[in-house]
Amino acid sequence: MRDLHVSYLTTRGAAVAVDGVSFTINAGEVVGLAGESGSGKSTIAHAILRILHPPALITGGEALFNGRDILDMNDKELEDFRWKNISIVFQSAMNSLNPVMKIRNQLLDVMLHHGLSKVEANQRALDLFDLVGIEAQRLDAYPHQLSGGMRQRAVIAIALALNPPLLIMDEPTTALDVVVQKDILGQINLLREKLGFSILFITHDLSLLVEISTHISIMYAGEIVEKAPARELFENAKHPYTLGLMNSFPSISGEKKKLTGIPGSPPNLVNPPGGCRFNPRCPRAMAVCSLVKPQTRIISTEHTVSCHLYDEG
C-alpha cells in the first residue's frame, strides 16, 4: 500500500478517513492494523478490495499486489482477482452469511463462479470444513443452526475457498466471547502455518495482536503513527497513543496495573486539529505539536514513529 487517501463526502465537507497510509505485507507475514473505532482501519480493507461505496472516494495512492495496482483494475479484472488473490473475513459472521442458504451452497457459489466443477467444489468444501475443524454434516446447516464460533469458522472456510495468498481479517472475533476468540485465533495460526497465506489483521484490541501478528501498524485519525515488529512494539512502544492503547487493556501475566483510558475523543475528520492529530488528547503534548505535523522518525530498522518527542536535536 502506497500513500492511500480515502475521503467520505459529507454535507459539511470531505472527511479524510485515510490520509497517506503506506505499509507492506510480505509473504507469510501477519500485519496487525490497530486503532480506535473510526481510525480508518476498515476503510483501508475495503479500499484494497475496491468494495467502498459512495460517499466514500479513493482520492490517491496505490494498492500493489505482485506489481499490479488493484486501484487501476477494471471490473472484469477485479472479478477475476478477488477471492483468488485476496479475500476477506468481515466483522460479523451472521451478517456475512446468507441466512436462507445452506453453508454448502454459499461455499460452492464462490468456487463454481471461479471455474471449479461441482464435484471438485464439493470435495473442496469437505476439505475446507475439515481444515477449520467443523464436522462435514454441518455443511448442510443454515447459519442460524451454528454457534457463533462455528459461523466464524465457516466464514473463514469460504474466504479460503480459492486458497488466496492474502487474507484480510476485519475484526473477525469482535462478537465472540474470549474463550471462542482464543480458539479462533489458534485456528487461524494453524491454518496460516499449514497453507502459508499472509494476513492483514484489523482490530481495535491491541491485546489480540500479541497472539497472532509479526508486525503491527498503529492508526490514529486516518494516519499510521507507529510501525514495528510485534515484539519490538510491545517491548519498546514510542508513540503516546500506542502507549495509551497498551495501558487500556489488562496483562494476563506480569504485575497488576491500573487500567487507564485515553482522555477525550477522536477528532472530527472534516476539520482535524492542526499539527499532530493526537495533540489535543496527548499527555506529553508540546507547543510544536499543534503547529507542525510530525515527520516519520526511524527508531530501528523496521520501527518508525511520527511524533515530535523524537525530533532530532
Backbone angles phi, psi at 26, to 5 degrees: -90, 165
What is the separation, in whole angstroms, between the first and last Cα of the chain? 31
Q: Looking at residue 251, what is its pLDDT? A: 65
- All three cell numbers of 197, joined, read 497465506
CA 125 – CA 119 distance, rounded (Å):
10
In the chain, where the domains are located: 25-50+69-85+164-251+262-274
Q: Give the pLDDT band (50/70/90) at residue 174.
A: confident
What would the pLDDT profile of 96-118 be if each residue is shown by its tens digit? 899 999 999 999 999 999 999 99
Is beta strand 198-203 parallel, antiparallel or unpaired with respect to 166-170? parallel
- What does pTM read for this prediction? 0.94
CATH superfamily, region 25-50+69-85+164-251+262-274:
P-loop containing nucleotide triphosphate hydrolases (3.40.50.300)
Q: Give the pLDDT band (50/70/90) at residue 178.
A: confident
CA 98 – CA 104 distance, rounded (Å):
11
For residue 51, count other CB atoms closer than 10 A to its CB: 12
Q: Is 254:265 a contact under the CB 8 Å cutoff?
A: no
- All three cell numbers of 28, joined, read 507469510
Rounded mean pLDDT, 106-132: 95
The residues with which 219 forms a beta bridge, in sequence order, are 224
What would the pLDDT profile of 279-297 be if each residue is shown by its tens digit? 999 999 999 999 999 999 9
What would the pLDDT profile of 240-290 be if each residue is shown by its tens digit? 999 999 988 776 555 667 778 899 999 999 999 999 999 999 999 999 999
E strand intervals along the chain: 2-10, 13-21, 30-34, 56-62, 64-65, 68-69, 86-89, 166-170, 198-203, 215-220, 223-229, 296-300, 303-306
Q: Is 218:23 a contact under the CB 8 Å cutoff?
A: no
